[in-house]
Structure 1
C-alpha cells in the first residue's frame, strides 16, 4: 500500500514539475495544481493511514492512540484544498485577462500571436 501511495505522489509531483516548465500559461496552472495535489497527499500520508479503524473514540473503552489517525494533517489538507481551489480560480481569471490584452498565452509573451 505504501509503495503505491509513494508512486502516486512521485508521479503527481514529477508531472507537475514538468508542466510548470512548459511555455504556455494553462499548462503551468495545471502543473501547479498537480504539484499541490502531490503535496496534499504527502501531508495526508503523514497522519497514519488506517483502513477500517473507527472514526470516533469510545469513551468507555481504553484509548490506544496508535489505532487512530492523526486529525491535524487531515485538517491541513482540507484547508489547503480550499485555498488551492480559490487560487486556481483567481489565476485563471488573471490569465484570461492577460490573453485578452496581449493576444498570447505564453508565459514570457514571446510566442507567436494569432
Structure 2
C-alpha cells in the first residue's frame, strides 16, 4: 500500500475524527473532575458526528434533489446527515441531564471531584 501525503489529504476527515475521539477518551480517563469528563464525552460525540458526515460525503456529488432536466448525477447520501441531527439532539439532552446530576452531586458532597467523592463515600461506609 502506497502511503503518501495525498492519502492523508484524502482521508483528513477520518483522521481528524480519530484524533478527536482519542482526545475525548483521554480526557474521560485521566481527569477526576466530573465537568471535564462531560467535556471529554462531548468531544467524543463530536468526533462520531464528523465521522458519520464524512461517510456520507461523495466527491463531486450534488445535493439529493432530483431534477428531471439535469439528467443522471451522483448524489450525496443524506441518511448520515439526518441521523446526525437526531444524534445531536440526543447528545445535548444527555449533556443537560449529566450536568443536572453533577449539580445534585455537588449539593450532596460539596465537590465534583470523583476522587474526593469516593473518599467521602468510603468514610461514610466505615461509619
Q: What's the TM-score bracket when you normalise by the shorter of the two chains?
A: 0.7 to 0.9
Equivalent residue for 1:16? 24
- Contact 2:34/2:102, CA 8 A, preserved across alignment: yes
How big is the alpha-carbon RMSD for the aligned residues of Structure 1 and Structure 2? 2.1
Paired with 1:57 and 1:50, the residues of 2 have a C-alpha distance of 18
Equivalent residue for 2:110? 103
Give the TM-score taking structure 1 as reference length: 0.83
Q: Which runs of 5+ in 2 are unaligned?
A: 1-8, 121-127
Q: Which runs of 5+ in 1 are unaligned?
A: none
Q: When you count helix as a share of all residues, which structure comes out higher?
A: 2
Quote the offset at 1:47 in angstroms.
0.8
Mean alpha-carbon deviation: is it higher for 81-90 or for 6-15? 6-15
Mean alpha-carbon deviation: is it higher for 84-93 or for 49-58? 49-58
Give the TM-score taking structure 2 as reference length: 0.75
Computing the radius of gyration from Cα coordinates, the structure with the larger value is: 2
Paired with 1:23 and 1:111, the residues of 2 have a C-alpha distance of 13
Taking a change above 3 Å as real, the CA distance of residues 54 and 40 of structure 1, as seen in their structure-2 partners, is closer
